[in-house]
C-alpha cells in the first residue's frame, strides 16, 4: 500500500523540558488517523515536524519525497489547519483567496467560495470580526481549496458547535472516499475519532504508547467495574491499569470476550477512547 507519511527515528528536543521520540510511524494513503494524548504529549510537535515547520533529527517522507529537500513540491499536496494558525486580522476571505492563488498552483477559487457559502462566511468581512468558530471554518475551507491529497489537522473542530462540527466531519469523510486521500488529525474531541478514524495513535510524554486500528481498540478493550472484594480476586495478569474510587474499582482490560467468560459474575463495559486514554495515563499499574 502506498505510504502518505513515513517517519523514521524522529527526535525533537527542547532542552531538558521535553523530548519527542524516537518516533517511527507509517501512515498508508487512504486512511484517517487520529492522534491523541494529553496536553504536552507531543502531538503538535509531531505535526509541525512532519510539516517541516520546526527543525528535528530523523527522516520524514511525504508521498515518498523527503520533507526537507522537496518541501516546495510537497506543499502542493498538503492542506493544513493548526491550532495556533491564524490569518492577518485585516484580511477578508476574498483577500485570502487572492493570496492563495499565488501560493498554490491548484488553488480552486470556485471551490473556496462554495465552502464560504456552505459555512455562512461573508467573503468581504475582515478576519478580526469572525468568532473563533468562524475562523476555524475559514481555515478548513482554505486547507481544502487547493485539492490536497493529505490533510494535517490540529484541533480542526475546536470551537465549532455540534451541527457545524458534524458538517465538517462529513466533509472529511467525503474527502477520504478517494483512496489517494489521507488525513492525520490531532484532537481532544475523541468522540469524533470513534466515528471517523481508521487508526488511533496515542502519544504520551513524547512516546507512542500504541498505534492500533479503531475497531481493535473499541472491540478489544473494556472496563471491568467491581467492588474491592471482587478486585482482589482478579488475576493481576488480566489488569492493564485501574482506578479506585470510594466505592468501586474501574479496571482496564483487553481481550474483552475472554475476560467476560473468565469473570462471569462481573460486568465488562464498552470503553470510549477518552476512558482508555485516562486509564492508560492516570491509572495505577
Q: Structural domains in the chain?
A: 3-87+148-215 (3.40.50.300), 221-282 (no CATH)
Q: What's the rounded mean pLDDT across residues 136-141?
A: 92
Alpha helices in 33-131 (DSSP H): 43-50, 71-74, 93-101, 109-118
Model confidence at 46: pLDDT above 90: yes
Q: What's the rounded mean pLDDT across residues 244-273?
A: 91
Model confidence at 141: pLDDT above 90: yes
Q: Which has the higher per-residue pLDDT, 218 or 86?
A: 218
pLDDT range class, residue 18, cuts 50, 70, 90 = confident
Q: What's the rounded mean pLDDT across residues 254-258?
A: 92
Model confidence at 71: pLDDT above 80: no
* pTM metric for this prediction: 0.91
Alpha helices in 132-224 (DSSP H): 132-144, 162-175, 190-196, 214-220
Q: Which has the higher per-residue pLDDT, 255 or 85?
A: 255
Model confidence at 212: pLDDT above 90: yes
Model confidence at 275: pLDDT above 80: yes
Region of 246 (left: φ > 0; alpha: ψ -120 to 50; beta: rest) is: alpha
pLDDT range class, residue 179, cuts 50, 70, 90 = confident
Amino acid at each position: 500500500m502506498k505510504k502518505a507519511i513515513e517517519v523514521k527515528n524522529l527526535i525533537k528536543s527542547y532542552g531538558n523540558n521535553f523530548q519527542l521520540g524516537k518516533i517511527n510511524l507509517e501512515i498508508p494513503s487512504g486512511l484517517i488517523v487520529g492522534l491523541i494524548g494529553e496536553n504536552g504529549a507531543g502531538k503538535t510537535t509531531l505535526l509541525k515536524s512532519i510539516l517541516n515547520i520546526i527543525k528535528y533529527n530523523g527522516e520524514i517522507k511525504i508521498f515518498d519525497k523527503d520533507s526537507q529537500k522537496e518541501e516546495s513540491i510537497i506543499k502542493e499536496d498538503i492542506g493544513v489547519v493548526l491550532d495556533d494558525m491564524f490569518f492577518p486580522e485585516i484580511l477578508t476571505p476574498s483577500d485570502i483567496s487572492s493570496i492563495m492563488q499565488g501560493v498554490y498552483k491548484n488553488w480552486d477559487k470556485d471551490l473556496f467560495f462554495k465552502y464560504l457559502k456552505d459555512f455562512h462566511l461573508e467573503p468581504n468581512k475582515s478576519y478580526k470580526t469572525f468568532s473563533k468558530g468562524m475562523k476555524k471554518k475559514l481555515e478548513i475551507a482554505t486547507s481544502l481549496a487547493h485539492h490536497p491529497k493529505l490533510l494535517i489537522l490540529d484541533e480542526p473542530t475546536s470551537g465549532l458547535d455540534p451541527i457545524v462540527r458534524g458538517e465538517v466531519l462529513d466533509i472529511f469523510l467525503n474527502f477520504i472516499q478517494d483512496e489517494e486521500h489521507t488525513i492525520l488529525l490531532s484532537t481532544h474531541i475523541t468522540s469524533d475519532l470513534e466515528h471517523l478514524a481508521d487508526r488511533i495513535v496515542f502519544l504520551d510524554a513524547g512516546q507512542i504508547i500504541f498505534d492500533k486500528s479503531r475497531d481493535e481498540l473499541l472491540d478489544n478493550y473494556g472496563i471491568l467495574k467491581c467492588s474491592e472484594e471482587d478486585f482482589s480476586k482478579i488475576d493481576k495478569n488480566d489488569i492493564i491499569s485501574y482506578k479506585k474510587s470510594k466505592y468501586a474499582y474501574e479496571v482496564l482490560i483487553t481481550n474483552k470476550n475472554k475476560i467476560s467468560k473468565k469473570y462471569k459474575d462481573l460486568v465488562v463495559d464498552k470503553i470510549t477512547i477518552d476512558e482508555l486514554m485516562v486509564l492508560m495515563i492516570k491509572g495505577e499499574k
